[in-house]
Amino acid sequence: MPFYDELQQQTEDARLSLLNVPLIQRGARGEIELPEYVAFLTQAYHHVKHTVPLMMACGSRLGDHQEWLREALAEYIEEETGHQEWILNDIAACGADAEAVRYSRPNLSTELMVSYAYDSIARGNPVSFFGMVNVLEGTSIALATSAARAIQTSLELPNKAFSYLLSHGDLDIGHVDFFRGLMNRIDSDTDKAAIVHSARVFFRLYGDVFREVDRQSVGLEAA
């Protein structure tokens, strides 16, 4: 079995657990309020701004025999640079204070997810980063475009409030094809195990990001 397919098979239960998070389910149906959408974008900003630094960190730790993977990361870096600014633009289009978000602290769940990404690269196997790629891009394909349209219809927001979700839903189709090709070139059992483990962890951590946003929204309603 190609490793990409093996990766999806071995993480299927973790992926379904993420997709069943209530906030994600409600988002797919367009049943979230404007503060929840802004809260989601805020946490997206706080992890997306680390995408390029994480890719740089991963590339710096790869061995000479993995030069082909470093070259692939260079392509990713070129495509992902500046995407956090798209998110701030979306936040502003929602009528929220984008500059306040820029200088805010992330939720604990978001901070822990980003911290785990850096730690797994520095302390463990740098290819662990691709477990995060598998989770974030795979989730975008499954949810981004359809959720964006449902939320937009519900909240009556302009297209410019959805540049992040809509672009990633479309862009990541090509990204996943590229990613599949990369994963199918991984031939080390140690590297494969590191990527599978990382993906399972990131499904859990990314789910926690949504769960914390959901808890905050419940607290606001109660107040």
Task: Give 172-197 pLDDT, tens digit per residue.
Answer: 556 778 899 999 999 999 999 999 99
Mean pLDDT (the chain, rounded): 91
Global confidence as pTM: 0.93
Judge whether residue 144 has pLDDT over 60.
Answer: yes
The highest-level CATH class for domain 3-222 is mainly alpha
Tens-digit pLDDT profile for residues 84-112: 999 999 999 999 999 999 999 999 999 99
Q: In degrees, to the nearest 5, what angle opens at C-alpha 57 toward C-alphas 55 and 59?
A: 70
3-state secondary structure of 142: helix
Mean pLDDT for 104-128 is 97
Count the alpha carbons within 13 Å of 41 in the hemisphere toward its beta carbon. 35
- Helix ranges restricted to H, the chain: 3-10, 12-19, 22-28, 34-48, 51-61, 67-80, 83-93, 98-102, 108-123, 129-155, 163-183, 189-222
- pLDDT at position 205 over 60: yes
Chain center to CA of 97: 22
Residue 70 burial (10 A CB sphere; 0-12, 13-18, 19+):
middle
Q: For residue 223, name the pLDDT band (cuts at 50, 70, 90).
A: very low
- Domain ranges for the chain: 3-222
Using one digit for the tens of pLDDT, what is the confidence trace for 10-34?
Answer: 999 999 999 999 999 999 898 999 9
Confidence (pLDDT) at 101:
98
Write out the two tokens for 212: 């914390």
Four-residue CA torsion sign, 165, 7, 207, 111: negative
Determine phi and psi for 173, rounding to 5 degrees.
-60, -50
